[in-house]
A and B are shown apart, each in its own frame.
Chain A
Amino acid sequence: MTTTTTPPSGAPAAPSAEESTGALLLRGMRTNMRQYGMLVALAFLVVLFQIWSDGTLLLPSNVSNLIQQNGYILILAIGMMIVIIAGHIDLSVGSLVAFVGAMSAVMMVRHDLPWVLALVLSLLIGAVAGAWQGFFIAYVGIPSFIVTLAGMLLFRGLTQIVLEGQSLSPFPDGFQNIAKGFVPEMGPYTQYHNPTLVIGLATVAFLVLREWRGRKQQLAYDLDVPPTGLWVAKLVAVGAAVIAFTLTLASFHGVPVVLLIMCGLLIGLGYVMRHAVVGRHVYALGGNKAAAKLSGVKDKRVTFLIFVNMGVLAALAGCVYAARLNAGTPQAGLNFELEAIAASFIGGASMSGGVGTVMGAVIGGLVLGVLNNGMSLVNIGTDYQQVIKGLVLLAAVGFDVWNKRRVGR
């Protein structure tokens, strides 16, 4: 037997030299091109409509309005993004929004249930609806497109049955506040809304603290960290943006309740997708299902949970929408699933799964929201609005495909 110790290869290649700040920045941008691209596009749209609408877009009252107008779509987009990352799709969310809205109306208007109880029951209905679809997708193995297409018809029909074709209203004030309310004013009179200022400052403090702790831990583990200058610049930019946003809101009625809900979801689910075992399993399933299964990922259970989550979020969006309309109506939520899917793809999802972030879904949703709001402000008709939104979706994904091909795989 020939056994020698002569390695045929040369010395191992030295690890790459220190990258310059610029190169580091560029590489980070390129790996997440669509999301950064959309952030730039979002900023561009804001500036464009701000000028075009003679400063109306960023008026504190309009910013509040914009958030409340788009809250439910953003909630749906967050759930949809997770579904798409896992390599599935959910066409039923629009109908589920209507169904849950109808059920909440039945509970509160017909049966006079307290609104908190009705809200909890509504979310539970959403979870059951999600579990129903998740069961067929994960454990029976019917493609999600089919199951949720069936769900789309099913929940729409149930809505009409429950409402007997009528709208039901009005809701208690507490329930309406979910969509229309603001964090109540407290403390002495200032020019601004006090709790909003506190929330804003707390957010900045939280972000700085988190970044600082993360950096400290990375250093403790002896890992490479971005250069100090770049890090500080990033913190300052983020901080400034949060403060500007806070001041805008604080000079109107303050933080809308919907914004709190959304931020909670964004932070919570964003964290789960990045750091929780289950979140990482979602990415693994979407990226390569066969490899994930052979790595011990419980594909069925994870898929099931994704749809339960989507069901709960659709229910939440349903309540918000019903509260905003102050009625449960049979026609609620029409085409919401398409808006949510479009937001996900604009925000960086991939048709084949495995890619995307919760933040991306929110950015995608905001792009659509600013487009909607801005175009209305400058009196572009809904006919042209649809054409433009269609083109934006095409352009966003087209740009990403082109960019990937250019960089080369």
Chain B
Amino acid sequence: MSGPVLEMRGITKTFPGVKALCDVRLTVGAGEIHAICGENGAGKSTLMKILSGVHQHGSYDGEIRFEGRRAAFKDIRDGERHGIVIIHQELALVPYLSIAENIFLGNERSSRGFIDWNDTLRRASALLKRVGLREKPGTAVADIGVGKQQLVEIAKALAKEVKLLILDEPTAALNDEDSAGLLDLILELRDQGIACIMISHKLNEIRAVADSVTILRDGRTIETLTVRQTPSSTPRLSEDRIIRGMVGRDLDRRFPERTPYEGEDAGSLALSVRGWTVRHPVDHQRKVVDDVSLTVRRGEIVGIAGLMGAGRTELAMSVFGRSYGQYVAGTVAVGGREVSTKTVPAAVAAGIAYVTEDRKRYGLNLIDDINRNISLPSLPGMRRGGTGLFGGFGGLAGFVDAHHERAVAERYRRTMNIKAPTVFEQVGRLSGGNQQKVVLSKWIHADPEVLILDEPTRGIDVGAKYEIYTVIDRLAAAGKAVLFISSELPELLGMCDRIYTMAEGRLTGEVDRADATQELLMRHMTRNRS
């Protein structure tokens, strides 16, 4: 191996209000497979976006040297011209175009503005052979599986004469067989001299193919470890060693003191999910949630830990009115009684609330005000004169008591400390933390027995996090059952009474607060089926 093909030094990137990367360095040797590891939000994707030109030169500090020369990419095409190609987790293929057209999209084989179809098809066939995909170049991309689509992406990269290939979670959506095939292909490409950076959560895959691994944490480079000495030698690095690097930080966040719930029914079962199984909405072969059973008691905060793609959000959303995927099996009981959660109104009526991880997409009407966002799920209960004459018609009829509604919104603005001049402020103008408080208010006012909180502190600053924790504690102290989904292990350790771990759609562990450590959780979370 000669000198490094890529050197990134002192990379610092700030987004408004957040420092995403701080003085990160990364060195990739020629013809090397280099893995990047880190928790969600550690800065892996941001680093790759800088490298590939998504974030243009000048929007970050630091230096990139590629093949010994300083690299300053204006945009992603500029990066590709130099031979750096990124393949994102969500594939960037146009489903109704053919494989050949996709391979040369934006890079068309043409003369004088017209596409040379013979050249296109000939080259596409050659590329497909190279990546080992036995499909005709004229087949539409929509007609082949995800695993094959991944190969088309790689063929597309090869068409651009790639020297450094970046793969973001390449096997996250693939089954075991396709994953193995893809890893073999990456090894083959390395032998042809193409370097590869691979972001992955699957530690066994990293051990199987990577030459070295760089660990990021909180936007900083922690360490770079050598996995194997020569490409063919057996790996010397253990998975535990990588895990230690990923989580090895002090508990530097603070959590409020818990007030235990002391009602008569303390400790009685609030939520019980049995044998919950859900298939992927499009790819019906894949079980996204597989036979999950869990319980939450009154006044208890129970965490669900898992890496990206573990199926936590999918579990929560499908339990909440089957809002995700295709339901296969499973029952839900609230307060010991089996309930239907077939639709969102049914789930709400059963006493379940779900606070989404993606508040902008699923949680809020950004163009409306705080007042109306908070009241939306509770509108039927805010009708003037109760149900009465307008009671029928599925709760749609009847008029909202605007003054009562506004008084409710004002109350939450005060108690939740939502920083806005009035409740008529547009929600889209609030900061992330304040938006999150609006979503929480909305569901707290719906007065559920069970709250499923999905990443409730994602993308908000430390101060607002503490306020959210306080609210969650208050809910538990009032006898609510809280199911707390989070990617931040310290947060789960600091807040929860019990923690379940998920990997690849299954529950892989249940740990009591007293026994829980980050290492133990991470071990459960990275346990694969294979």
Nearest A residue (CB) for B417: A12
Residue pair A278, B396 in contact (C-beta under 8 Å): yes
Verify if A292 is at the interface (C-beta below 8 Å from B): yes
Report the separation of the CA atoms of residues A287 and B366 in the bound assembly, to the nearest whole angstrom. Answer: 7
Among A4, A8, A276, A295, residue most surrounded by chain B Cβ atoms (within 10 Å): A295
Residue pair B344, A294 in contact (C-beta under 8 Å): yes
Report the separation of the CA atoms of residues A15 and B466 in the bound assembly, to the nearest whole angstrom. Answer: 20
B210 to chain A, nearest CB (A): 34
Residue pair A294, B354 in contact (C-beta under 8 Å): yes
Q: Which of B365, B368, B462 contacts A8 (CB 8 A)?
A: B462
Interface string of A205-232 (1 = CB under 8 A from B): 0000000001001101111100000000
Nearest B residue (CB) for A407: B429
What chain A residues lie within 8 Å of B345 (beta carbons)? 296, 298
Verify if A280 is at the interface (C-beta below 8 Å from B): yes
Interface string of A248-292 (1 = CB under 8 A from B): 000000000000000000000001101111101101100110111
Please tell me the size bucket of the interface on A: 35 or more
Residue pair A8, B364 in contact (C-beta under 8 Å): no
Residue pair B255, A2 in contact (C-beta under 8 Å): yes
Residue pair B428, A409 in contact (C-beta under 8 Å): yes
Report the separation of the CA atoms of residues A4 and B466 in the bound assembly, to the nearest whole angstrom. Answer: 11
A282 to chain B, nearest CB (A): 10
Nearest A residue (CB) for B399: A275
Verify if A355 is at the interface (C-beta below 8 Å from B): yes
Residue pair A9, B463 in contact (C-beta under 8 Å): yes
Residue pair B442, A295 in contact (C-beta under 8 Å): yes
Residue pair A292, B254 in contact (C-beta under 8 Å): no
Report the separation of the CA atoms of residues A24 and B485 in the bound assembly, to the nearest whole angstrom. Answer: 41
Residue pair B396, A290 in contact (C-beta under 8 Å): no
Chain B 481-528 residues near chain A, CB threshold 8 A: 493-494, 513
Given A3-B258, A280-B400, A294-B362; A409-B372 close (CB under 8 Å): no
Q: Which of B257, B368, B399, B493 contacts A284 (CB 8 A)?
A: B368
Verify if A302 is at the interface (C-beta below 8 Å from B): yes
Q: Which of A7, A220, A409 contacts B466 (CB 8 A)?
A: A7
Nearest B residue (CB) for A350: B367
Interface string of B334-367 (1 = CB under 8 A from A): 0000000000110010000010100001111111
Verify if A94 is at the interface (C-beta below 8 Å from B): no
Residue pair A283, B463 in contact (C-beta under 8 Å): no
Nearest A residue (CB) for B495: A3
A82 to chain B, nearest CB (A): 14
Interface string of B272-313 (1 = CB under 8 A from A): 000000000000000000000000000000000000000000
What total count of A-B pairs have CB within 8 Å? 143
Question: How many residues of chain B are within 8 Å of chain A by beta carbon?
Answer: 60
Residue pair B365, A278 in contact (C-beta under 8 Å): no
Verify if B404 is at the interface (C-beta below 8 Å from A): yes
Verify if A110 is at the interface (C-beta below 8 Å from B): no
Verify if A191 is at the interface (C-beta below 8 Å from B): no
Residue pair B344, A290 in contact (C-beta under 8 Å): no
A113 to chain B, nearest CB (A): 31
Q: Which of A9, A275, A305 contacts B464 (CB 8 A)?
A: A9
Given A1-B494, A354-B367; A8-B254 close (CB under 8 Å): yes
Interface string of A157-199 (1 = CB under 8 A from B): 0000000000000000000000000000000000000000000
Residue pair A301, B394 in contact (C-beta under 8 Å): yes
- List chain B positions with a Cβ less than 8 A from chain A: 251, 254-258, 320-321, 323, 344-345, 348, 354, 356, 361-368, 372, 375-377, 379-380, 383, 394-400, 402-404, 406-407, 410, 417, 419, 421-422, 424, 426, 428-429, 442, 462-464, 466-467, 470, 493-494, 513
Q: Top 9 nearest A-B pairs by Cβ distance? A: A9-B463, A287-B365, A16-B421, A221-B407, A278-B396, A295-B377, A275-B399, A296-B345, A288-B365
Given A12-B419, A277-B399, A280-B375, 14 other A-B residues pairs in contact with their CB atoms under 8 A: A5-B256, A5-B257, A6-B254, A19-B421, A220-B403, A221-B407, A271-B399, A276-B398, A288-B364, A290-B362, A292-B365, A293-B323, A294-B363, A354-B368
